Amino acid sequence: MIRLEGLTKRFGEREAVCSLSLEIARGEVFGLLGPNGAGKTTTISMMIGTLPPTSGDVHIDGKSLVDDPSLRRRVGVAPQALALYEDLTARENLAFFGGLYGLGGRELNAAVDGALEMVGLRDRAGDRSETFSGGMQRRLNLAAALVHGPDVLLLDEPTAGVDPQSRNSIIELVRSLKARGTTIVYTTHYMEEAQKLCDRVGVMDRGSMLALGTIHELLKDHGGDSVVVYHDEHGEQKIVTRDPAAEVARLIERGVRSGLRIDRPDLESVFLNLTGRALRDGGAE
């Protein structure tokens, strides 16, 4: 469905994205993980055609996005910053953006209603977006990317700075879009979101793709060992092991039960192992 071929972007001497190549299948939710400054947004900008690559290309169903700008009609984008007209109502915002994609009349009205329904803002359709809470504005931002019914959706940090309720709502929405067969590229630095949503994840840092695979594969290959923790007469004890289940069984046999738990590797530890630093360190992109 989407193929990135040696995608590179240089700003002067600085290489923001270095020869990125990957393929994303139809209906897949692909997570692009990395700290601020990793090159995620630059990659997304090249994928949507607003930033010309220094070299390389983006293909959708085999057609180059650089050569065929009409492919943009099939792509929806929810940028990291809220991109809405605050003085327009939710309906007017969506009608305007839908109209830019060639929708009109009843088709546009139906599309606007559908998008408002999907993000749970139907009852606030006539209110100006400036009156919305941060979470509601995020959902409207997402609706503006959906209104023309794209089959590729690029979501750049869609849950940044939102309340837990809106975050859950957005996650549910992404799941329902995946169920409909929409191909989604999802950038985030929230590991738990990526683990919940993504079929595959690419870990980026300093413009390079450090690792790529399913969550299971990444944990297996880069997550490191599990840690079994328990308490005895000397205090808290930790055992680093590849086979935590066997280790726990052995401890129970010895009669150790106090404070017994397993700390399994997660994407955070994947990132730590790959880069030597925590995911949420990093400077501005």
Partner 1 sequence: MNAIIRIAMKDLRLLARDRADAFFTFVFPLLIALFFGYVFGGGDGERSAMPVAVVNEDGGAASKWFVEQLSKAGGIEAKPAETREAGERLVRKGDAAACVIVPKDFEDSTKKVFSGGGMQLEAIIDPKRSAEAGLLEGRLNELGFRQLARTFTDSSMMNSFLDSAREDVSKSTGLSPLQKGIFGTFFDSVSSLTREVTSKSAPGETMNGAVGESGGGFRPVTVTMHELRMDPNSPNNSFAVSFPQGVVWGLMGCVMAFGVSLVQERRRGTLLRLCVAPITRNQILLGKAAACFASCVIVQVILLVVARLMGVRIGHPSIMASAVLVSSVGFTGVMMLLAGLSRSEGAAQGFGRALLLVLALIGGGSIPLFFMPRLMQQISSVSPFKWATISIENGLWRADGWDAMLLPGGVLLGIGVIGFLVGWAAMRRWSPT
Using CB under 8 A, list all residues that contact partner 1: 41, 45, 48-51, 69-70, 72-73, 75, 77, 79, 81-88, 92, 96-97, 99-102, 104, 128, 144
DSSP assignment of 247-276 equals: HHHHHHHTT--TT-EEE---HHHHHHHHHS
CB of 77 to partner 1, least distance (A): 5
Closest separation between CB of residue 65 and partner 1, Å?
11
| Spatial distance between the Cα atoms of 134 and 205, rounded to a whole number of angstroms | 29
Q: Which is nearer to partner 1, 100 or 246 (CB)?
A: 100
Of residues 69 and 134, the one with the C-beta less far from partner 1: 69
Q: Write down the H helix ranges in the chain.
A: 40-47, 90-100, 105-118, 134-146, 164-179, 191-197, 215-222, 244-253, 267-275
Q: Tell me how far, at minimum, the Cβ of 48 lies from partner 1, in Å.
A: 5
Nearer to partner 1, 92 or 217 (CB): 92
CA angle 31, 35, 36 (to 5 degrees): 115
Measured from the CB atom, the residue of 51 and 262 that comes closer to partner 1 is 51
The dihedral formed by the CA atoms of 160, 165, 169 and 172, expressed in degrees to the nearest 10 = 100
- Min dist. Cβ of residue 80 to partner 1 (A): 8
The values of phi and psi at residue 216, to 5°, are -60, -45
Comparison of 128 and 206: residue with beta carbon closer to partner 1: 128
Q: Considering the complex, what minimum distance in angstroms separates the CB of residue 108 from partner 1?
A: 11
